[in-house]
Structure 1
Amino acid sequence: MKQLFRIVLFSLLVLPALSQPLSQKLAANRDRRFILEALKRQTDDWNTGRVDRFMTSYWNSDSLTFVSKMGITYGYQATLENYKKRYPDRASMGTLKFDILELDLLTPTLAYVIGRFQLTRPEIGNAEGHFTLVWRKIKNRWVIVSDHTS
């Protein structure tokens, strides 16, 4: 009887502790996959000329920040307008490719992405650089809250 009691006690104390990290790992893998899929959708949307859809990964808020060599832009609408002004046609948009160099989940609701972008634009010249994205899980959805592209 003592042996059965020990087994039950062990199961009640140890098994929940073992399952928690596994569930956290599964959630982290799911979140990582979601962010990578969102970045893939962004390149697909960009490469078909859909800037409005490209922007759906960004936080639709006045608190969104976008940092580039042109300075700091605050807000979703201003960022969208800058994209449309800087890339007014398919020739200027070219073909976008992302290389993700680092993706870290800092907390269950905060992620950090470092990557490289390449724009292939035969008519006006290619462009390339690096970016840092801060993602936040807001209302159970991952969105970019800060973008620094150079």
Structure 2
Amino acid sequence: MRNWLFTLILIAVAVSAKAQSAGDKDQILAILQRQEADWNKGDIKSFMNGYWESDSLMFVGKAGITYGYKPTYEGYLKRYPDRATMGKLKFTFLNFSFPGAGVAFVVGKFHLTRPEKGDLEGHYTLLFKKIKGKWLIVCDHTSG
């Protein structure tokens, strides 16, 4: 019994350690930094590369829940039709955790500097999942 329990604990620690590797965190931060850069170039299409291209993608915003990659992309295009509306994006990371193997949870703030339209800011929570070896946003809840 003790050997079985010890083995189970070692497996849990190994899974936890793997889920929290610096490489995984660095990959996710690189995705978010690339998204910030893509946004600031006015390239929403490239910005969307951080999202899971699936009908199961979930985006929760002021208007409610949107399901699917294409409707999420179209929602961004509708809400941000031009560079003045898009402004300059700055992410601030507040919390980063790995609640399980292959899953990451990021909480942060965003700020859009928009001299012509008025600044916009709020918070976001992102659920990342490692799918086929690639970290992707599977759920995005953004306020603001």
Same fold at TM > 0.5? yes
Choose which of 14, 25, 35 in structure 2 pairs with 1:32: 25
Q: In structure 2, how many angstroms separate the alpha carbons of the residues matched to 1:26 and 1:62?
A: 26
Shift >2 Å, 4+ stretches: 24-27
Q: CA deviation at 1:25?
A: 5.6
The structure in which a higher percent of residues are helix is 1
Q: CA deviation at 1:98?
A: 0.2
RMSD, aligned CA: 1.7
Q: How many residues align?
A: 131
One-letter amino acid of the structure 2 residue matched with residue 51 of structure 1: I
Equivalent residue letter for 1:85: K
Q: Among the aligned pairs, what percent are the same residue?
A: 53
User: Which shows bigger deviation, 110-119 or 99-108?
Assistant: 99-108
Matched, 1:84 2:84: no
Secondary structure of the residue aligned to 1:122 is: coil
- Separation (CA, whole Å) in 2 of partners of 1:146 and 1:97: 20
- For structure 1, the residue ranges without an aligned partner over 5 or more in a row are 1-16
- Report the Cα offset of residue 26 of structure 1: 9.1
Structure 1 counterpart of 2:81, which letter? P
Aligned partner of 1:100 in structure 2 is 93
Gaps of 5+ in 2: 1-9
Partner Cα separation in structure 2 for residue 66 and residue 126 of structure 1: 22
The answer to whether 1:145 aligns with 2:138 is yes
Aligned counterpart in structure 2 of residue 44 of structure 1, from 7, 28, 37: 37
> For the residues of structure 2 that align with 1:140 and 1:119, how far apart are their CA atoms?
31
Counterpart check, 1:134 vs 2:127: yes
- Would you say the 8 A contact 1:131–1:147 is kept in 2? yes
Return the alpha-carbon distance in structure 2 between the equivalents of residues 26 and 129 of structure 1.
28
